[in-house]
Each structure stands twice: as structure tokens, then as C-alpha cells.
A and B are shown apart, each in its own frame.
Chain A
Amino acid sequence: MRRQIPLALCFIAGLFMAVQYFIPHPTVQDTYEIVLGWLQTLLAFAFLLGTVSLIRMHFHKIRNRADDRAFSWVTLLGLVSMIGLGFLHPQHQLPGSPFNLMFLNVQVPIEATMFSLLAFYIASAAFRAFRARTLEATLLLVAACIVMLGRVPIGDLIHESIPAATQWILNVPNLAAKRGVMIGVGLGMMATSLKIILGIERAWMGGSD
């Protein structure tokens, strides 16, 4: 019961999803869409699990009088206010609703700023790690420098062939490497999927036996 049923369900769901790909008939395709809808709905249900986990962790921090417990209140307050605004305000998604304003003026700017930290980190990473220690490392840093130069106008001034070289690197070695990675990854994905469906790989339910 504890292991056989989940493994059987996993097998049936996996087999169906793999086979439906070859059957365009509406009987199968409609079922496929229904099952896909189930999976998405299941994820939506799981958000309550996640939210409870988040609340519990911060509740424990507050109860254990952890150093940063004041900030745990901030998280809980943000969470509760968004859930409250979302469920109490019927038109929560309309522009100008409190839910939408919080999203646009708190979540969006913080996330956009976190994203823009990359401009700083890309520089510090290049300084720290781009060392011509080996042939491979040298190739990596030379290719990166050429492409960087080729993207800005100064590149043309340094040497007129830099933009063309950039294009060539992107279209030839880069393309070949990407395709190779993609094929390998495809096989890896398929093997992992197959091992899950057949119950060979069971780590997702806590391992074998």
C-alpha cells in the first residue's frame, strides 16, 4: 500500500503521458488535457503546503526568540496581507486594486533590483574566476572577451573584424556545443524519466526498499 500504489500510479500516469503524444484522436487528446489540468490543479493545492511550511518556519523563529525574529513578523505580515487582499477583494487583479498595487510597487521593484545585481556580479565573477590556468580556461576567457568587444561600438574601433569574429563564434562553435549539450541532455532526461516511470529510480518517494 505505501509503496506499491504510488509506484503503480506513477507508472500509469507516465505511460499515458508518453503514449498520448502519438495519438491525435480527440478521445485521447481530451483526456490528456484533462489530466494535465489535474496536474496543474494539484500544484495549486500544494501552495497551501508551501505556505504552511513558510509560516511554520517563521513561527518557530519567533517562538525560539531567534535574533532576527522581528523580520519574521515582516514576512508573516506581507504574506497575510497579500492573502487577505487577494481573497477579500473580489477584483483583486484589476489595475489599482490594493493587491495589484502591492504587487507592482513592492514585489516588482525588489525583484527587478535583485535581477539587476547581475550587472555587478558578472564583473566581479569575471575578475575573480577568468584565469588562463589551462587551455580550456583560456579559450573561455578569450571567447568571452571577443564577444564582449563585438557587442559595443568600441569593438569596431579596436579592429574592424571583431564584430564579424563575434558573429562567427556565436554561429559556429557556440552552436555546435549547444546542440551537443542539448542532445546529451535530451538522452539524460529521457533516461531519468524512463527510470522513474518503470520504478527503477525511486528517490522521489524516499528511495528503494
Chain B
Amino acid sequence: MGTIIWTTIGAILTLSVYSFLYKDNPFYKFAEHLVVGISAGYYLVIYYYNFIDPNVVTPVFQLRLGDQAIGFGSGAWWLALIPGLLGLLLYTRFFPKVAWVARWSLGIYVGGYAGLGLSPVMQARVIEQIGANALPLTSVTNVLIVVGLLGTLAYFFFSMKHKGILGVFARTGIVFLMVGFGASFGYTVMSRISLLIGRVSFLLHDWLHLV
């Protein structure tokens, strides 16, 4: 019985979303506002239990008497105060006069991820890609791949006019880019239709038991 009710709720919400294809209407508005609220609440709860609880609350408030290494890594309980403090600094944004203090936390966050965007990126996106493309020019396919890559790289030159030899390469690059984009577009169609088949199957089979 419970299953039928929940399936019906899911089905009605599914139809409400599809009604948007015709035009904006109260059913869509309802589904939209509901899912924004529900999912925002869902993520607040999930992030609290997955990060704040194990990394801050548990080490600081519950296990502070035990003096073994707890929390993440090998740090002691007081290390858990740091993310807690950085997190609370974010809340200075609620008070306009001291709101700038939140920038300290943001600075660490932005800087930390910027650092991670340096060395691993050089490895995975530059060096290994060049290595994978260092092909012997012993087949037409290999020649095309090398020319295509050089052309695409040339297209991304910003500080020179695309004239002369650079212009020729850049034009070649655009040709490869466009064929590649067309191919990705065509390749994706099938999986998107599978999603739609899945939803229609939910409505006709799981809900209405028609097929």
C-alpha cells in the first residue's frame, strides 16, 4: 500500500515536470519549488553527517578525554578545532561589520584548490596527453591524430594573429574541433533517449502496470 502511494507521488511529480515542455504552469512550479527545498535540506544534512560530525563535533565534544589519535589522519583532537574555527569564521558574513574576516577561510579554500590545480593538472592534462600522442607516423590515422592535435593547439594561441603558418594550423584545428563536437553530439543522443525510455517505463510499467 505504502509503495503504491509513493509510486503515485513519484508519477505525479514526473508528469508535473513534463508539463513544463508545454509551458510554465502551477504543477511545474510546485515540483520545482519542492525539489529545490527538499534537495537543499538533503545536502545540508548529508554534509553535516559526513564532514562536520566526524571531523569536528565527534573529536572535539565526545572523544576529547581519550588521548589517542582520533578524527581524520593522525592528528590529535585539538587539530579538529581548526576546521571548526575556519567554518565558524565563515559565519562572520552574517555580521556586516566583521564580514571581511570570512575571507580568511575563503583564502585557504581558494588557495588550497588552486594549488591542487597546478601539479596534478600538469601531469594528467599536459604531459600524459603529449606522451599519448607521440605516435610514429607510420599510418594515415596516426598522421591525422598528430596533425589534428597540433592544429587544435594552434587554434588556442592567443598572443599572435592567426596568419601564415599559424593560420593554416589554426584552421585545421577548427575543422578537427567541429568534427569532434559533432561526433560527441551524435554519440550522446542514444543515452539521453534511454533516460526518457526509463521514465516512460516507470510511468507505464511501475505505476500504471499497462505494459
A139 B186 Cβ-Cβ under 8 A = no
Contacts of A104 in B (CB 8 A): 6
Bound-state Cα–Cα, A77 to B35, Å:
11
Interface of A: prevailing SS: helix
Closest-by-CB residue of B relative to A68 is B29
- Within the complex, which residue of A5, A51, A108, A137 is in contact with B40, where a contact is CB–CB below 8 Å? A51
Beyond A49-B91, A182-B125, whether A44 also contacts B183 by CB under 8 A is: no
A136 B175 Cβ-Cβ under 8 A = yes
Whether, in the assembled complex, B82 has its beta carbon less than 8 Å from a beta carbon of chain A, the answer is: yes
Count A-side interface residues using an 8 Å CB cutoff.
126
Bound-state Cα–Cα, A152 to B189, Å:
11
Whether, in the assembled complex, B166 has its beta carbon less than 8 Å from a beta carbon of chain A, the answer is: no
- Within the complex, which residue of A48, A76, A106, A143 is in contact with B91, where a contact is CB–CB below 8 Å? A48
B38 A102 Cβ-Cβ under 8 A = yes
Bound-state Cα–Cα, A122 to B90, Å:
41
Whether, in the assembled complex, A94 has its beta carbon less than 8 Å from a beta carbon of chain B, the answer is: no
Contacts of B184 in A (CB 8 A): 174
Using CB atoms and an 8 Å cutoff, list the residues of chain A in contact with chain B. 2, 5-19, 21-22, 30-31, 33-52, 54, 68, 71-72, 74-83, 86-87, 92-93, 99, 101-120, 122, 126, 135-137, 139-148, 150-152, 166, 169-187, 189-190, 192-194, 196-197, 204-205
Q: Could you write out 6 A-B pairs with CB less than 8 Å apart?
A: A18-B118, A79-B41, A83-B44, A115-B195, A176-B148, A186-B126
